[in-house]
Chain A
Amino acid sequence: AQSVTQPDIHITVSEGASLELRCNYSYGATPYLFWYVQSPGQGLQLLLKYFSGDTLVQGIKGFEAEFKRSQSSFNLRKPSVHWSDAAEYFCAVGSGGGGSQGNLIFGKGTKLSVKP
């Protein structure tokens, strides 16, 4: 069965430091991979997505992610974290029959805190 694992429940980094959030997936076919961010009381905002092609994907807000098929990973990175990046981050894999990607399987999320 398809699954997504985010090993880190909570990460704290200092403002200006680099960030890497880990995501491992289990999926039989070529996965569609996503990173979303959620601020408290809000919905999910798409940061970036990978469908095919270049394995390094650029997203919004200075985030990037690298797809590594051999490691079944899709880690999210940012070179310099800003206080406004404090939020919860979700990795997801697209799964569905009939070509539909409507069924996203999410990881449990990683809560990011930023120290001044």
Chain B
Amino acid sequence: KAGVTQTPRYLIKTRGQQVTLSCSPISGHRSVSWYQQTPGQGLQFLFEYFSETQRNKGNFPGRFSGRQFSNSRSEMNVSTLELGDSALYLCASSSDGTYGYTFGSGTRLTVV
């Protein structure tokens, strides 16, 4: 069974640009969550989608957005990138969001 796949693995962007990260959950999983990991703030919840609907949202500015498609694949978008957005972005999937999540290896975003 394939795990959670995140693409790309590494990304370098310039301040002010926007970026889209992709996450393919485990087959059959309908819940996808996104987290930002930085050395200073640790792991912080961004948002969760279940069956194409956003169920929960963390305390991030509106520049951070996401969506989920009918096949459960999810994307997150960050507009007007700032240096502080440099982080490891982790995606996690669960069959129904209630019994623990399987995480992907993450996308390392560097903003220069």
Residues of chain A touching chain B, judged by Cβ–Cβ distance below 8 Å, are 34, 36, 41-46, 49, 51, 90, 92, 96-109
Contacts and interface: CB of A to CB of B under 8 A. Distances in A.
A105 B45 contact: yes
A42 B105 contact: yes
Which 7 residue pairs across A and B have the least CB separation, nearest first?
A102-B48, A106-B43, A43-B103, A44-B103, A43-B105, A102-B33, A102-B97
B43 A100 contact: no
Contact of A43 (B33, B50, B98, B106): B106
Given A102-B50, A105-B45, A106-B42, A46 B98 contact: no
Interface in B21-68: 31, 33, 35, 42-45, 48, 50, 55-56, 58
Contacts, number: 73
B33 to A, nearest CB: 5
Interface of B: 4, 6, 31, 33, 35, 42-45, 48, 50, 55-56, 58, 90, 92, 94, 97-106
A103 B48 contact: yes
Contacts of A99: 98
Contacts of B97: 96, 100-102
Contact of A96 (B35, B42, B44, B48): B48
B50 A100 contact: yes
B17 to A, nearest CB: 24
Given A96-B55, A102-B56, A106-B44, 10 more contacts: A42-B105, A44-B90, A46-B102, A90-B43, A100-B55, A102-B101, A103-B48, A104-B33, A104-B45, A106-B42
A108 B48 CA distance: 21
A46 B4 CA distance: 13
A103 B56 contact: yes
B45 A43 contact: no
